[in-house]
Amino acid sequence: MHTEMAQYYDLIYAFKDYHAEADAIKACILRHNATPDQRLLDVACGTGRHVEHLSASFHAEGLDLSPELLELAKRRNPGIPFHCSDMRTFDLSDRFDVITCLFSAIGYMASIADLKLALSTMANHLRSNGLLIIEPWLTPEMWKPGTVHALLVDEPELKIARINTSETRNGRSVFDLHHLIGTPEGTRHVVEHHEMGLFTVQDMTSAFEAAGLDVTHDPKGITGRGLYLGVRPHE
Ligand SMILES: C[S@@+](CC[C@H](N)C(=O)[O-])C[C@H]1O[C@@H](n2cnc3c(N)ncnc32)[C@H](O)[C@@H]1O
């Protein structure tokens, strides 16, 4: 995330229904384990919008790489612990009943090696019978290079036009998000470069298994991108 763009994250993703998504995640968790007082860690929590809703039912915490997004998450969720760390290498010396990683953040793993590292790091923070819920990025079949995308934020004193063209490079999805940001002070141009791994269902399933988890895949999930559920077997 471009540091300057963090302040606009919630406006850009205002179309997402975090409340409904959190409710669907909660239902998934309770189907697996209906015990009260479960501890949940949201990895790559961004501005803490899922945490905001999940903390009504679970003892929630968040973790993200971006200090700017975490500042917003903390402001939104006073009293909730947030950790600034990389999903591949974090070590909280703690175990959770549930770990979530939503809105395709796992796609920031640009290689199978990094994907495996992130999944095993998350699995190591699960209690026995703990649940890992991952909402994946697109598969190679779903990714359409050469398509053009646009999004508009239209507030009285803030206009953002975001345009990008999808490309594939070295087997990865690559896109530069060009933002034209208009405020009463003037209009500026900020480009955010993204490279995300394109993993098949087999790649994802194998990475869960390599992390020692029993995995199931729901191809639809909470937003249509699918959902992987991994359970740490009883020790
Ligand atoms: C598309 S956003 C999703 C944020 C949040 N889960 C949501 O639903 O709004 C991707 C998030 O992944 C985070 N991220 C990217 N690479 C990361 C890494 N290596 N470790 C932890 N977080 C990372 C970004 O900072 C960003 O907050």
Average pLDDT along the chain, 235 residues, taken 10 residues at a time = 91 98 98 96 98 98 98 98 98 98 98 98 98 98 98 98 98 97 98 98 98 98 97 92
Q: What is the pLDDT at residue 22?
A: 98
Name the residue with the closest Cα to ligand 1, atom 26: 46
102 CB within 6 A, ligand 1: yes
Ligand 1 center from residue 228 Cα (angstroms): 17
Q: Where are the domains of the chain?
A: 3-137+199-231, 148-197
Closest atom, ligand 1, to C-alpha of 108: 16
Which of 11, 103, 104, 227 to probe ligand 1 with, by most ligand atoms within 8 A of CB? Answer: 103
The amino acid that residue 223 corresponds to is T
CATH T-level fold of 148-197:
S-adenosyl-L-methionine-dependent methyltransferases (2.20.130)
Q: Does domain 3-137+199-231 have CATH number 3.40.50.150?
A: yes
110 CB within 6 A, ligand 1: no
40 CB within 6 A, ligand 1: no
Q: What is the pLDDT at residue 2?
A: 78
Rg (CA), the chain: 18
Ligand 1 center from residue 235 Cα (angstroms): 31
Closest atom, ligand 1, to C-alpha of 66: 25
Name the residue with the closest Cα to ligand 1, atom 17: 65
Q: What is the pLDDT at residue 235?
A: 78
- Residues sharing a CB contact under 8 Å with residue 40, sequence separation 6 or more, in sequence order: 29, 54, 58, 59, 60, 61, 96, 97, 98, 99, 100
Q: What is the pLDDT at residue 179?
A: 98
Q: What's the token pair of residue 78?
A: 């006073």
Whole-angstrom Cα distance, residue 233 to residue 228? 16
Closest atom, ligand 1, to C-alpha of 103: 8
Q: What is the pLDDT at residue 120?
A: 98
Query: What stretches of the chain show up as alpha helix (H) in DSSP?
Result: 9-12, 18-32, 49-54, 67-76, 112-124, 201-210
Ligand 1 center from residue 65 Cα (angstroms): 7
- Residues sharing a CB contact under 8 Å with residue 113, sequence separation 6 or more, in sequence order: none
Q: What is the pLDDT at residue 10?
A: 98
Whole-angstrom Cα distance, residue 174 to residue 22? 28
Name the residue with the closest Cα to ligand 1, atom 13: 44
